[in-house]
Structure 1
């Protein structure tokens, strides 16, 4: 943890982040015990990192297949012109199956992570939702067979 990401973060901040990366549900008092500081210090440090935008919130991780969403795929999107990015992005946010959207370099203008219940749902989504958005020239779809790594970066 000797890597200092930001001159405004010290070793205690990095230690707190390391603990939360491993288990974001760790109670503040437990973090305080591990770090040998008071619970109030952890609250102050967490507030500081939230205000700095380093901690942007928490989210629950779901086992999507157990909820009936068996298909995870990535869609490479070719946008017809750069002026279409904002509109395409706005329209993609309206599609609930799109869980991530990235502007990229390389072959694709936009890369999207999509979760669907089935291959037929994916086909319907591509044909009737994504590929009908004005500004999308064409798409390439890559189905994920498994996800052996799913983690945050280690500090």
Structure 2
């Protein structure tokens, strides 16, 4: 049985409240749900231990931080076996914020943030293209996020 099947209504409601405001006090959650602080604390600990709740962290406004350019880039590798080494090199580039294994024409798919077009060019051509094992990159410039959310419970 997977972890999602172990969620009851209290767990789902706690996750929805945390999704709305990750900084909310446990006492506020308890008050909203009509349960004790202890129950909320125990449930959040259990959700974390089960790996359902990975972290509660801020959502940064990338544009407000000066990152006006985004790109989604497919990476073709010389050998798929190079993926672990390539991923370790990508982790060293702070502007690479996401990396996925995918099927199809590419082995990996990454999201890159840049301050301007010159910064994006430098990231793509001087850093990412120079990682040994990358055969080809194919980028699509992101024009803005229509929405971004967690899965709906």
Residue 57 of structure 1, CA deviation: 1.1
Match of 2:152 among 114, 135, 154: 154
Q: Does 1:84 align with 2:102?
A: no
After superposition, residues 1-155 of structure 1 pair within 5 angstroms as 6-155=4-153
User: Where in structure 2 are there 5+ consecutive unaligned residues?
Assistant: none
- 5+ residue gaps, structure 1, are none
- Give the TM-score taking structure 1 as reference length: 0.93
Residue 5 of structure 1 and its aligned partner are, at CA, apart by 5.8
* Cα distance between partner residues in 1 of 2:3 and 2:34: 22
Question: How many equivalent residue pairs?
Answer: 152
Q: Is the 8 A contact 1:88 1:134 kept in 2?
A: yes
Q: Name the CA shift for 1:129/1:137 in 2 (closer, same or farther; >3 Å).
A: same
Q: Deviations over 1:116-139 (max 9, x none)?
A: 111111111111110011110000
Question: Secondary structure at the residue paired with 1:125?
Answer: helix
Q: How far apart are residue 37 of structure 1 and its match?
A: 0.5
SS at match of 1:55: coil
Q: Distance in 2 between matches of 1:30 and 1:142?
A: 43
RMSD: 1.4
CA contact (8 A) 1:21 1:154 kept: no
Distance, in Å, in 2 between the alignment partners of 1:66 and 1:22 is: 21
Runs (4+) of structure 1 moved beyond 4 Å? Answer: none
Q: Distance in 2 between matches of 1:140 and 1:119?
A: 16
